[in-house]
Chain A
């Protein structure tokens, strides 16, 4: 018997619909990682500051450590696993690789999801647009220069294709 504090969450993740009974207090990031095994979405700060947990919800970037799985019910979620694959990286993933936009890689899934949002909002962003768009994503390794370069390179590649 489900208890009064459980909910049934039905949502679409990376194009596949799924349904789980979980405690209502389950955060979306834990739902993705623990219920669905999608561990590409990371928990960094757990306080809505670092952006490592960024996913797209109905196409817009949100911090999944500060969304309940129940709030995401009925919505479409896209995680880092859903945007490209090993044989064919998403242009933003490719640009992070080509421009050396990562070192340890912990922040990278969130960075890639945030950069996708920047380019969706503005296909031809300036350096300043990219930095403003990444205000909610923290990287402890790179010093950001190559992340910004990767974002600009990805935008250029996506404009051409």
Chain B
């Protein structure tokens, strides 16, 4: 399978990426690690006329401690998130979840920013970043803005990013109790996307593949806030979600998985803290 033809530009800086995007408008796509976009292009589900390769913008590849938060450059690869000592110490949920994405080769190429910008509800890191209450920083021709994770994911493969806007970094506040985390990913085969996944940090719960966007389990979180026990919170974990049915699982089975996995995740997070 070979992608449709396109013109290729490699951006040497974020500024150059933005001006190339402005020049080529709707015809252009950014290429980061390419591990979501190239498979789609090979299947001809995507056929951009212009590719702007941002994969080498080392200015956007970093993990830095800012005191109350950790800032992660959008071009930071999954492998580097997985192996960051800073993240392992302060935000172990994120380091662990990055190590569950795909396989080692995929983690050497795929980026955290690409995972977020792609807006796939089956991806692991968006739901993790929801549970971590992260903020996304985007840069466009008009300037820089910050978008809370809870307002970023709009619909299937659609995010708050404007055309030509570049996701530059992800700001993750250090959790109140870093140890109170759990990541439950239910898959059929070693390198698959989650059939359903759950990320818990403190009493915040992110859901993978339980609708057209990555979600928070709002009803279960409200139950915990009202002082209800874990089992009662888990029992309402699928309320307000709208998972699809596909060859892997029916909607009802996904709802069942969400209840079971949220229960396990909350128990594990509590036992760790």
| CB contact under 8 A between A23 and B5, given known A51-B105, A135-B103 | yes
Per-residue A-contact encoding for B1-44, CB less than 8 Å = 1, 0 else: 11111111010000000000000000000010011001101100
Contact B53 A70 (CB under 8 A): yes
Is A27 interfacial (CB 8 A cutoff)?
yes
Chain B interface SS verdict (over half): mixed
| CB contact under 8 A between A70 and B8, given known A47-B39, A135-B104 | yes
The interface residues of chain B lying within 8 Å CB-to-CB of A66 are 34-35, 38-39, 109
Contact A117 B39 (CB under 8 A): no
Is A46 interfacial (CB 8 A cutoff)?
yes
Name which residue of chain A comes closest to B8, CB basis: A24
The interface residues of chain B lying within 8 Å CB-to-CB of A61 are 104-105, 108
The interface residues of chain B lying within 8 Å CB-to-CB of A33 are none
The interface residues of chain A lying within 8 Å CB-to-CB of B4 are 25
Per-residue B-contact encoding for A9-20, CB less than 8 Å = 1, 0 else: 000000000000
Is A146 interfacial (CB 8 A cutoff)?
no
Q: How far is the CB of A161 from chain B (nearest CB, A)?
A: 24
Q: How far is the CB of A22 from chain B (nearest CB, A)?
A: 10
Partner of B5, one of A24, A30, A46, A68: A24
Chain A interface SS verdict (over half): mixed
Bound-state Cα–Cα, A25 to B48, Å? 11
Contact A25 B53 (CB under 8 A): no
Bound-state Cα–Cα, A136 to B192, Å? 10
Bound-state Cα–Cα, A46 to B39, Å? 9
Is B55 interfacial (CB 8 A cutoff)?
yes
Contact A136 B2 (CB under 8 A): no
Partner of B8, one of A48, A51, A68, A133: A68
Is A71 interfacial (CB 8 A cutoff)?
yes
Partner of B191, one of A7, A46, A49, A73: A49
Per-residue B-contact encoding for A21-42, CB less than 8 Å = 1, 0 else: 0011101001000000000000
Is A114 interfacial (CB 8 A cutoff)?
yes
The interface residues of chain B lying within 8 Å CB-to-CB of A47 are 1, 39, 42
Is B226 interfacial (CB 8 A cutoff)?
no
